[in-house]
Amino acid sequence: MSDLARRAHIALVLAVTDVLIRPHPAPSGPVHAGRSRTGRAGGEAGQTTAEYGMVLLGAAGIALLLVGWATKSGAIGKLFDVVMENVIGKVK
């Protein structure tokens, strides 16, 4: 595993851990018929945290695949070369 992939993996684990263990404040204001301000039933209050965690896992997984592809194919180096050529061309 490359250093970049290892760093991305560590960042993913830290981000997901932070989202999953961060306490959420209780909703302020009146709660009617067992529902919170978000419209969820009282027993589903923690479901939002799990949904955010799943979205973060999905996004991080896609990012890791993209970083892995770009690293193996040399796309990042090519992109950097094209950008630098355009910048140098505009300066001249």
Domain count, the chain: 1
- Angle (CA) 53-57-61 rounded to 5° is 170
| Per-residue DSSP letter, 46 | T
Domain of 43? 3-91
pLDDT value of position 90: 87
Q: Distance (Å, rounded) from C-alpha 86 to C-alpha 92?
A: 10
Q: What is the residue-level pLDDT of the chain in tens, covering all 92 positions?
A: 677 777 777 777 777 676 666 665 655 655 555 555 555 555 566 677 788 888 999 999 999 998 888 888 888 888 889 999 999 988 87
- In sequence order, the β-bridge partners of residue 41 are 35
pLDDT value of position 45: 61
